[in-house]
């Protein structure tokens, strides 16, 4: 499992625009490099990142809304640096859970959650 | 170093080496080996490692030789945890070393006063000043005589090893001071000493003496 | 040549250098084609996008970039996508980002790889379908102490 480092303020004021940072440990092997033995290193990339927001009320009400709203998504290619870093924003309106997902080659699929409290 | 690289090191939420630190902090509390002991079993909270990294390399009375921090970690693994040693620059070893070193961030590098360490520093200094390889350069030629001048587009640094283990953009990963020293040796087309060789430990010991008083900034980011 | 006419002509030379526009660079045909394909028939204009990247990069393995777009980010008016293309890496795609009015701010920052000196373009797609661009040129030097 890839190590991740997510930075989100613990609390925010209503309508405050917060900054979210997400760092994940991954080599982002391009498929163009060769090993010291001359073999081509197979491509191994994170392909997709999504960040969803699940409002606290919705999480308990019905299954359909637990997926939450997509607030940010990224499609990565080989030109994204190793240990991909992303920083983006969210207008905080209500307390809830941020769901971060990374998907990629060799079956990589990882999800992390962080809660956000509107003070 | 470009401002963008400095910014990367200064901000823990951007510094990719913090991924290794996080790994190391988890390992600190994880029972390992036949003894099923974690680092915390003996040492307590990792915060108690404050200032420890500023002392290494140091003389080990049980080993009767000067050892660096990663060798000390491996020593604990073998003697206390009854686990196998990690190979040089193993991800977990780098993680633990980075996590331990981070506890000393901002503290001055302070090699202890030990007769055996002084011998190592002296030998390390001789190696530092010795020209090696087909390119026929010593560490001193670049990192003292020519420091501040340019090699290609890069400013030649003074070679103070204050941030190890570092995240090096060139490696796209975290690595040890010995990996860096071996890289330098390959660059001047000398035969690099093997990982853990006495020569590399002595060089590390001299570099620590040379950087004594400078603040430890692990985990550093370098180009 | 008389001194007076020499001065006059050299003054003219200086002036011609100084009036050269600083804002826009001539976009490479590679990038123009990529943007055109991405826009899929929508109008493409320069402006509203700010592509922040160092002009001189001493290690192409990890280059911080930040893209901000001038947009109120309301349900009525917002950025839906930001795409980055490069001119000379083995693949021209860098990344595509999806945003919405929930973002609050039209901004994204990441770190990218650059194989060599080249141009890059950031394209922002608005919810009305229009596309806006900022093209930058980056000088990438080869690191002196590479390791194989």
- Please tell us whether the domain made up of C27-140 is placed in CATH 2.60.40.2470: yes
Q: Quick check: A3 and B23 CB within 8 A? A: yes
List of chains touching C (3+ CB pairs within 8 A)? A, B
pLDDT attached to residue B48: 97
More confident residue, A4 or C5: A4
Give the gap in angstroms from C-alpha C1 to the nearest C-alpha of chain A.
Answer: 55
Query: Are B41 and B28 in contact, with CB atoms under 8 Å apart?
Result: no
Q: Is C88 exposed, middle or buried (0-12, 13-18, 19+ CB in 10 A)?
A: middle
Query: Are C90 and C114 in contact, with CB atoms under 8 Å apart?
Result: no
- What residues are paired with A72 via a beta bridge? A51
pLDDT at B153 over 70: yes
| CA-based nearest residue to C94, from C41, C51, C48 | C51
Give the length of chain A.
119
Query: Could you tell me what percent of chain B has a pLDDT over 70?
Result: 100
Residue B220, CA distances (Å) to B16, B73, C78 in order: 10, 20, 39
Written as one string, the DSSP assignment of B192-210 is PPPTT-HHHHHHHHHHHHH
| CA-based nearest residue to B177, from B189, B163, B156, B193 | B163
From the candidates A1, A2, A3, A110, which should be mutated to test the interface with B, based on the most B CB atoms within 10 A?
Answer: A3
Q: Quick check: C64 and B152 CB within 8 A? A: no
pLDDT attached to residue B208: 98
Give the gap in angstroms from C-alpha A64 to the nearest C-alpha of chain B.
Answer: 33
User: pLDDT tier at C12 (50, 70, 90 boundaries)?
Assistant: very low
User: pLDDT tier at A67 (50, 70, 90 boundaries)?
Assistant: confident
Give the whole-angstrom CA distance, residue C55 versus residue C58.
10
Query: Could you tell me what percent of chain C has a pLDDT over 70?
Result: 82
Instruction: Say how far residue B19 (Cα) sits from the centre of its chain.
Output: 17
pLDDT at B192 over 50: yes
pLDDT at C20 over 90: no
Residue B155, CA distances (Å) to B162, B175, B209 in order: 17, 21, 23
Mean of the pLDDT values across residues A89-106? 96
Q: Is A62 exposed, middle or buried (0-12, 13-18, 19+ CB in 10 A)?
A: exposed
Give the whole-angstrom CA distance, residue C116 versus residue B152.
15
Q: B115-222 adopts what CATH topology?
A: Cytochrome Bc1 Complex; Chain D, domain 2 (1.10.760)
Within this chain, domains B3-102 and B115-222 share the same CATH topology? yes
Over residues B109-129, the pLDDT tens digits come to 999 999 999 999 999 999 999
Q: Which domain holds residue A56?
A: 4-118
Give the whole-angstrom CA distance, residue B194 versus residue B182.
8
Q: Quick check: A74 and C100 CB within 8 A? A: no
Structure tokens belonging to residue B61: 């009375």
User: pLDDT tier at C22 (50, 70, 90 boundaries)?
Assistant: very low
Over residues B43-52, the pLDDT tens digits come to 999 999 999 9
Mean of the pLDDT values across residues C34-46? 95
Mean pLDDT of chain A: 92
Please tell me if residue C142 touches chain B, with a CB cutoff of 8 Å. Answer: yes
pTM, 2 dp? 0.90
Q: Which residue of A has its CA nearest to C108?
A: A88
Give the whole-angstrom CA distance, residue A17 versus residue A69.
16
Backbone angles phi, psi at B172, to 5 degrees: 60, 35
Q: Give the H/E segment covering residue B78.
A: helix B69-79
Q: B3-102 adopts what CATH topology?
A: Cytochrome Bc1 Complex; Chain D, domain 2 (1.10.760)
User: pLDDT tier at A60 (50, 70, 90 boundaries)?
Assistant: low
Query: Are A2 and A25 in contact, with CB atoms under 8 Å apart?
Result: yes
Range 13-42 of B in CB contact (< 8 A) with A: 13-14, 16, 18-20, 22-23
Residues of chain C neighbouring B169 (CB-CB closer than 8 A): 59, 61-62
Give the whole-angstrom CA distance, residue C95 versus residue B120.
50
Give the whole-angstrom CA distance, residue C8 versus residue C63.
45
Residues of chain A neighbouring C103 (CB-CB closer than 8 A): 71-72, 88-91
Helix runs in C1-148, H state only: 3-18, 29-39
Give the whole-angstrom CA distance, residue A25 versus residue A27.
7
Mean of the pLDDT values across residues C67-92? 97
pLDDT at C14 over 50: no
Please tell me if residue A81 touches chain B, with a CB cutoff of 8 Å. Answer: yes
Give the whole-angstrom CA distance, residue C108 versus residue B14.
14
Mean of the pLDDT values across residues B141-147? 96
What CATH number corresponds to the domain at position A55? 2.60.40.10
User: pLDDT tier at A58 (50, 70, 90 boundaries)?
Assistant: low
Q: Quick check: B183 and C147 CB within 8 A? A: yes
User: pLDDT tier at C2 (50, 70, 90 boundaries)?
Assistant: low
Residues of chain B neighbouring A3 (CB-CB closer than 8 A): 19-20, 22-23
Give the length of chain C.
148
Known catalytic membership, residue B76: no
pLDDT at C16 over 50: no
pLDDT attached to residue B154: 84
Q: Which residue of B has its CA nearest to A83?
A: B16
pLDDT attached to residue B160: 97
Q: Quick check: B19 and A27 CB within 8 A? A: no
Query: Are A109 and A56 in contact, with CB atoms under 8 Å apart?
Result: no
Mean pLDDT of chain B: 96
Exposure of B77 in the CB half-sphere (CA atoms within 13 A): 19
Taking one residue from B and the other from C, the number of pairs with CB-CB distance under 8 angstroms is 48
More confident residue, B126 or C13: B126
Count of the separate structural domains present in chain A: 1
Over residues B66-112, the pLDDT tens digits come to 999 999 999 999 999 999 999 999 999 999 999 999 999 999 999 99
Q: Is B77 exposed, middle or buried (0-12, 13-18, 19+ CB in 10 A)?
A: buried
Q: Which one of C61, C91, C110 has the shortest CB-CB distance to A85?
A: C110
Structure tokens belonging to residue B164: 């190890």
pLDDT at A64 over 70: no
Query: Are B201 and B72 in contact, with CB atoms under 8 Å apart?
Result: no
Taking one residue from A and the other from B, the number of pairs with CB-CB distance under 8 angstroms is 34
Please tell me if residue B148 touches chain C, with a CB cutoff of 8 Å. Answer: no
User: pLDDT tier at A52 (50, 70, 90 boundaries)?
Assistant: very high
């Amino acid at each position: 499992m890839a190590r991740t480092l997510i930075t989100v303020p613990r609390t925010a004021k209503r309508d405050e625009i917060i900054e979210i940072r997400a760092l994940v440990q991954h080599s982002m092997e391009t498929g163009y490099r060769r090993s010291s033995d001359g073999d081509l290193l197979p491509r191994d990339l994170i392909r997709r990142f999504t960040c969803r927001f699940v409002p606290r009320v919705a999480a308990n009400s019905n299954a359909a809304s637990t997926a939450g709203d997509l607030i940010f998504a990224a499609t990565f290619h080989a030109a994204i640096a190793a240990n991909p870093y992303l920083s983006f924003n969210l207008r905080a309106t209500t307390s809830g859970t941020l769901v971060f997902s990374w998907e990629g080659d060799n079956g990589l699929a990882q999800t992390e959650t962080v809660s956000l409290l509107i003070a | 170093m470009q401002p963008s690289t400095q910014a990367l090191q200064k901000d823990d939420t951007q510094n990719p080496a913090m991924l290794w630190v996080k790994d190391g902090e988890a390992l600190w509390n994880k029972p390992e080996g036949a003894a099923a002991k974690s680092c915390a079993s003996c040492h307590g909270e990792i915060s108690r490692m404050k200032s420890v990294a500023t002392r290494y390399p140091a003389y080990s009375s049980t080993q009767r030789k000067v050892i660096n921090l990663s060798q000390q970690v491996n020593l604990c693994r073998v003697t206390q945890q009854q686990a196998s040693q990690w190979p040089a620059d193993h991800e977990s070893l780098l993680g633990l070393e980075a996590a331990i070193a981070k506890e000393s961030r901002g503290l001055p590098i302070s090699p202890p006063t030990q007769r055996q360490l002084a011998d190592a520093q002296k030998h390390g200094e001789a190696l530092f000043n010795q020209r090696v390889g087909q390119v026929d350069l010593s560490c001193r030629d670049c990192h003292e005589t020519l420091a501040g001048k340019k090699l290609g587009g890069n400013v030649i640094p003074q070679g103070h090893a204050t941030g190890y283990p570092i995240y090096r953009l060139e490696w796209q990963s975290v690595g040890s001071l010995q990996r860096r020293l071996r890289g330098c040796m390959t660059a001047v087309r000398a035969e690099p000493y093997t990982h853990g060789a006495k020569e590399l430990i002595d060089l590390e010991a001299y570099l620590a003496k040379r950087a004594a008083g400078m603040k430890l900034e692990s985990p550093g980011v370098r180009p | 040549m008389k001194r007076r006419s020499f001065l006059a002509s050299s003054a003219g030379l200086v002036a011609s250098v100084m009036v050269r526009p600083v804002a826009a660079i001539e976009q490479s045909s590679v990038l123009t084609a990529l943007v055109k394909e991405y826009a899929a028939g929508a109008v493409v204009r320069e402006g509203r996008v700010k592509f922040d990247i160092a002009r001189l990069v001493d290690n192409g393995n990890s280059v911080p970039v930040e893209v901000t777009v001038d947009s109120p980010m309301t349900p009525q008016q917002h950025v839906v996508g930001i795409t980055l293309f490069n001119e000379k890496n083995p693949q021209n795609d860098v990344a595509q980002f999806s945003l919405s009015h929930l973002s609050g701010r039209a901004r994204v920052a990441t770190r990218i790889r650059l194989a060599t000196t080249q141009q890059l373009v950031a394209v922002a797609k608005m919810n009305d379908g229009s596309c806006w661009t900022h093209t930058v040129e980056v000088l990438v030097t080869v690191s002196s102490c590479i390791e194989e």
